Amino acid sequence: MTWAPAIELDDVHKSFGTTSIIQGVSLAVGTGERHAIIGPNGAGKSTLFNLVSGRLTPTAGRIRLKQRDITGLPPYRINRLGLSRSFQITNMFHRMSVVENVRCALYFAMGYGYAFWRLCPRLRDVHDAADALLERLQLSARRDVPAGLLSYAEQRALEIGMTVAGGADVLLMDEPTAGMSRSETERAVALIHELSENKTLVMVEHDMQVVFDLATQISVLCYGRLIATGTPAQIKADPEVKAAYLGVEAD
């Protein structure tokens, strides 16, 4: 397979008022890569995600998804082009059941769109796909529980499930293991590994163990600029990274 970019950022800037959060980030994520973005708090990692997913519009620069310019497109258009994201703070339809949450993540992707002439209980394909996904998430037993009543780890699993449900081939995950215990984290990493098979994954993560377990590429963001990009081994060896980030962590 020849290398093709899934996401390209071209000198992207973002400022809020006079505060500049992202100061000229250029980055190319190859198709099929598992790319982690790391950096100290306040480096602009979440802002970067919000820019790529269309939640925010860049002040300057271009963003391309699979070589198509998506700068300034609304989130739902970007999603339809094959990009899906999860949120740092769990962000589901709290009052709906678990299975209904997954189905809601499927309707558009399976071609039902805004239909008000088709009955959901009859959409066998959506049901089967949702059930299969719940099985993989190990949430089948909890399918009829309102999503808001799930345990934290279960909510995170559902969040990941809803992100991959629509079949997007580019996934953004914002701290998918934040706040989890060691064993929960291990299970989540295995799940992400499994569900992101043959897909492009970009994740923001604080947990270095998770980063080195999952990522094939790592970028380091510091005060709105990328200071390094490379394989985990390269990043570990990079002196600038050590100084700016890993060194601090090690203390």
- Give 22's strand partners: 14
> Of 162 and 226, which CB lies nearer to another protein in the complex structure?
162
Concatenating the DSSP letter of every residue in 64-106 gives EETTEE-TT--HHHHHHTTEEE--SS--S-TTSBHHHHHHHHH
- Give 27's strand partners: 9
Shortest distance in whole angstroms from residue 145 CB to another protein: 12
Whole-angstrom distance, CA of residue 104 vs CA of residue 97: 10
Strand order in the sheet with 68-69: 19-30, 5-16, 60-65, 68-69
**Quick one: which of 12, 36, 63, 109 contacts another protein (CB under 8 A)?**
109
Q: Contact, 162 vs 109, CB < 8 A? A: no
How many residues line the site for another protein (CB under 8 A)?
Answer: 37
Choose one: 58-66, 112-120, 224-232, 239-247; the region binding another protein (CB under 8 A).
Answer: 112-120
Binding of residue 116 to another protein (CB under 8 A)? yes
Shortest distance in whole angstroms from residue 95 CB to another protein: 5
> Of 9 and 92, which CB lies nearer to another protein in the complex structure?
92
Binding of residue 114 to another protein (CB under 8 A)? yes
Q: Contact, 208 vs 175, CB < 8 A? A: no
Binding of residue 4 to another protein (CB under 8 A)? no
Binding of residue 92 to another protein (CB under 8 A)? yes
Binding of residue 173 to another protein (CB under 8 A)? no
**Quick one: which of 5, 10, 108, 212 contacts another protein (CB under 8 A)?**
108
- Helices and strands per DSSP (H, E), number in the chain: 10, 10
Binding of residue 70 to another protein (CB under 8 A)? no
Q: Which amino acid is at 31?
A: T
Binding of residue 165 to another protein (CB under 8 A)? yes
**H or E element that contains 220:** strand 217-222
| Token pair in block for residue 131 | 């059930």
Residue numbers of the site for another protein (CB under 8 A)? 53, 55, 74-76, 79-80, 84-85, 87, 91-96, 100, 103-105, 107-109, 112-121, 123, 162, 165-166
